[in-house]
Structure 1
């Protein structure tokens, strides 16, 4: 066998494998779809569940159960929040130098663009900015 025949044989085997794999995938997908259809969800009958006893009392019982569930998990929830905050703080402390370096490089890169943006922004909002400055100066004079 020469190289061309080997490549051709390899490609045929690969395509046959790919076809077999695809058929298996489609078969399992169809099985799952049929499985889902066969197990219909049970319709919950609210009338029988809530109608027999006092409605308000039943709602209060449900609320009490939910509150108890949350209270039972409260310690774990608070612990997870604290753990997340500490991990976040550690991450920021760890990567502070990288972040500062990145910000510095970004500012250097975009220096002219930022300068132009600030100039346009100031021109556009000149009256508002000057009015705010006048008010601040006036307030400072009144305090003194």
Structure 2
């Protein structure tokens, strides 16, 4: 293959790509202008509701709605049960990790509290010692 043939092939590929792109663009443009709506069956309410078996039709509609709700209810209850099982399984699988984390957390908080108390005592040492001396004096004077 020489350079001229490579240029020709490249040009053909680019033109083919542009043609494809243009067709896609036009197709999407048409779809936006004229969206394809699913055809809903037309219901003649005069015919449906003025018939002799109006009460029967209402019962059928109510029955269909109830069965639909019941079907959904079973699915929802099943999903809830599955979720609870999954949650319990996860809880059991990660029990050790959680307990280890709790131990580490408690230890860290304990150390932080210890450091805080030490810092507080060092900061307020004079006040604390003064109060202790006063308390001792009061106890010794009351005791005598």
Question: Under a length normalisation based on structure 1, what TM-score does the superposition of the two structures give?
Answer: 0.39
Q: Which structure has the greater CA radius of gyration?
A: 2
Higher RCO (C-alpha 8 Å, min separation 6)? 1
- What TM-score results when the alignment is normalised by the length of structure 2? 0.39
